A and B are shown apart, each in its own frame.
Chain A
Amino acid sequence: MRRKVDTNVSRLSHERVSRRTILKGAGLAAAAAGVSLATPWRARADDVTLRWWSPQSSPGQLASYKKQIATFEAAHPGVKVVFEPTSDEGYSAQLAAAFSAKQQPDIITHLPSFAVQTYYAQGLVEPFDDVIQAIGPDKYYPGANNVYKTADGKYCGTGIGNTAADMLWVRKDLMQKAGVSEIPTTWDTLRAACQKMQTGGIYGVPYPYGLNSMTSLIIIGFIHRAGGNIFSPDLEVAINSDATAHALDFYKSMKELAPPGATNYSWGESLTAFVSGATATGIYAGRVLKNVHDQNPAIADFITATTYPTMSKDFPAWTFNDFPSIWIPKGSAHLKEAKLFAAFLLDPPGYIEQLLAAPGHVLPVLKTIAENPDYLADPIIQKYKAEVNLMAASAAGGYNLGYETAKHKPNSKANDIIASNVLAEMVGRVVINGENTKTVLGDTATKLADLMKG
């Protein structure tokens, strides 16, 4: 009996030892696992993921970004870059939501310079001076960064390129067929030429009349080409003028020369209308070249570009350059890496490939690149050398709503004005609704004044 009890105690004792051993083992194993996990975790904590937003994301551009990202990641172990496309029409809303949710990207490219100025004025942009220094200020064209100069004397971003957004694109074959001997330089000659060329299912112009940013940006150009301004140099509302009335009258007169759906056109539809051959002229930037080359090569030998006609020869040409930008939103958790990547985006091999993804569309801001044989060797750049040079010169001397003329103060409300569609609505009311121009101009001036105050 005693032996039996002893045996049981012994077994119990044995069991106790066994459990303790197991627990100890488990504890040690957990500790070991903890130690082994701690090191990789620290390594993971050091990893950096940069989020990059851009509205420019055609397949060719995406491929070039991918290469630039791969090169940057290889040169900076532990840093990962994720590209997230946005859109010209949607970035404003997406950024507002991102900022309010504290989910803003680390770097943004290709937004117009006036958008960056607006965000800077709202305290949402990191100063960019040190990045410009890292890139090398002497590499830029003179004054290329003026549009990024802020009221407090800093730079809020830099250019990733220039864009001559409202060039006149013409089909020379259709001109010849219609008996139009010269490329129009004034509104009257343009209208007459379009009237002659509008035949056989081909329309004259692909003007946008929709409630969107393209309509707003395009009408700004027309107002300037009639000698007007949206704001005075001191940023007082100046839209209620004869020049604007003339611009609207002309724009309205061209409605019958545009496809019926132009009342809903934005950038994509307007570009496609010309590239597909549905219109005899186009109003767009250099992307036309690549798209014609890829999508409608039959007309590639017949297209050319010039600055958009003005109301009369008394008025100089005025080109809308949205000055596509690079900037860093405030609140980036990886500011150092974001700045490194921003500077890297203008590094020659990758930058040239990025520009050549849409040759002539985003034009170089660095003179060292514009003269680079690798850039100049591109077949499209070579074929349309005159057009590309003209676009480069026009864009370099171009303006936008944030920077209407060299005399104007930077307009930090420009982005809000475009996003509000006030200017597009003005066009729609006059052209589509047929409302009285003076009444509409009065209303628009009031709305602009409210936006400037707000």
Chain B
Amino acid sequence: MASIAEREHALPGGWTLALRYGSLGMLLIAPTVLIFAAVIAYPLVSAIYLSLRSIFTPTLQGHWVGLANYADLLSSTTFWRALRNNFVWTAGTLFLQIVAGVAVALLLNQNIVFRSLARSLILFPYFVSTVVAVLVWRWLFNDLYGILNHFMLTLGLIDQPVNWLGQMPNAMISVILVGAWKYFPFVVIAVLARLQTIPPQLYEAATIDGAGPWGRFFDVTLPQLRSVLTVVILLRTVWDFKEFDLIYLLTGGGPINATQTIPLLVYQQAFGLNRMGMAAAYAVVMMAVMLVFMSLYLYRARRSEEAA
């Protein structure tokens, strides 16, 4: 009886079985690698390459400047102010999205009247176009005709209209609130799906052990939601950090530059000032900042999961 080694030698072309399997594997993953290279690696390398050049946007002509763009942006107050604004906006809106999302998901998991209708309607802000949503909110916030000021004046809460979008800290608070309203349904969808899979026996056992509603929430629900919340927070942080349209349309980065975040700076550099190289440098730094924070977050989440 021939050994495996002998049979491998017997393969035509001198190819061993392992080599053939390896080649087949390479062939099978090649399309994925190619697509990955085209949609992720190429834009990334391209952005880094652009960031090392001074490029005039309309003609895309330019010259090599090395790390000068990075040196310029790191030494400018504009960048650090925008980064701070980015953190304030991301942390503020994310916190509200998570709190509101979990609360509404818990509510919609109960046997309430018109539950199906409520579950459908709650998704409305997430599905409505950002431009439309912002237009509506700008009208609500309007100092002269806005319904918000009108009600507050009628109720005697204020004696003159509040400047919601043109004054700090109102502008940042308004942007954070609109962001939370627009994106909390995503948290609702994810959390509600997980809530429906938590075994009811866990709640029964907790109740028998004397746990009240808060106890059941903190000792049963929240630990069960940990994995889904990790993913939701990760995704929403990335999406909120690079949010552009909502902030741009609502305040344009104003008053002065008080709500200007890095994505708005990227846009201004690329298309307002026609400095595509500098815009790419801002984008690369933004990506690096996100990578650092995401790595730390994932590391801590994994550690706490292991500890649990």
**Which of B162, B254, B273 interacts with A260 by CB under 8 Å?**
B162
Size class of the contact patch on chain B: 20 to 34
CA distance A278 to B161 in the complex (A): 13
Q: Would you call B287 an interface residue if the criterion is a C-beta within 8 Å of the partner chain's C-beta atoms?
A: no
Q: Would you call A436 an interface residue if the criterion is a C-beta within 8 Å of the partner chain's C-beta atoms?
A: no
**Which of B54-62, B89-97, B124-132, B195-203 forms part of the interface with chain A?**
B54-62
Cβ–Cβ contact A432 & B271, under 8 A: no
Cβ–Cβ contact B254 & A264, under 8 A: yes
Q: In whole Å, how far is B259's beta carbon from the nearest beta carbon of chain A? A: 10
Q: Would you call B179 an interface residue if the criterion is a C-beta within 8 Å of the partner chain's C-beta atoms?
A: no
**Which residues from A are CB-within-8-Å of B144?**
259, 261, 273, 276, 278
Given contacts A260-B161, A261-B161, contact A100 B256 (CB under 8 A): no
Q: In whole Å, how far is B163's beta carbon from the nearest beta carbon of chain A? A: 4
Q: DSSP majority for the A interface?
A: helix
Cβ–Cβ contact A263 & B167, under 8 A: yes
User: From B255, which residue of chain A is reached at the shortest CB distance?
Assistant: A263
**Which residues from B are CB-within-8-Å of A419?**
272-273
Q: Would you call A140 an interface residue if the criterion is a C-beta within 8 Å of the partner chain's C-beta atoms?
A: no
User: From B143, which residue of chain A is reached at the shortest CB distance?
Assistant: A261
User: From A203, which residue of chain B is reached at the shortest CB distance?
Assistant: B144
**Which residues from B are CB-within-8-Å of A56?**
none
- Interface readout for B147-163 with A: 1 if CB under 8 Å, 0 if not? 00000000000001111
**Which residues from B are CB-within-8-Å of A454?**
273, 275
Cβ–Cβ contact A99 & B142, under 8 A: no
- Interface readout for A239-280 with B: 1 if CB under 8 Å, 0 if not? 000000000000000000001111111000000010010100
Q: Would you call A96 an interface residue if the criterion is a C-beta within 8 Å of the partner chain's C-beta atoms?
A: yes
* Most B Cβ at <10 Å: residue of A260, A261, A454: A261
Number of interface residues of A (CB under 8 A): 36
- Interface readout for B247-268 with A: 1 if CB under 8 Å, 0 if not? 0000111111100000000011
Cβ–Cβ contact A264 & B166, under 8 A: yes
Given contacts A93-B271, A100-B57, A260-B163, contact A212 B252 (CB under 8 A): yes
Cβ–Cβ contact A432 & B256, under 8 A: yes
- Interface readout for A82-123 with B: 1 if CB under 8 Å, 0 if not? 000000000011111101100000000000000000010011
CA distance A336 to B254 in the complex (A): 43
- Interface readout for A423-441 with B: 1 if CB under 8 Å, 0 if not? 0010011001100000000
**Measuring CB to CB, which residues of chain B are less than 8 angstroms from any residue of chain A?**
56-60, 142-145, 160-167, 171, 251-257, 267-268, 270-276
Known: A122-B58, A262-B166. 10 other contacts (CB 8 A): A92-B271, A99-B57, A210-B252, A261-B166, A263-B254, A264-B251, A416-B274, A419-B272, A420-B268, A420-B272
Q: List 25 A-B contacts (CB under 8 A).
A: A92-B271, A92-B272, A93-B272, A96-B58, A96-B271, A96-B274, A99-B58, A99-B59, A100-B276, A119-B58, A122-B59, A124-B58, A210-B254, A212-B254, A260-B167, A261-B161, A261-B165, A262-B143, A263-B254, A264-B171, A420-B272, A421-B268, A428-B256, A432-B256, A454-B273
Q: Rank and list the top 5 A-B pairs by shortest CB-CB distance, nearest first.
A: A263-B166, A261-B143, A99-B58, A93-B271, A264-B166
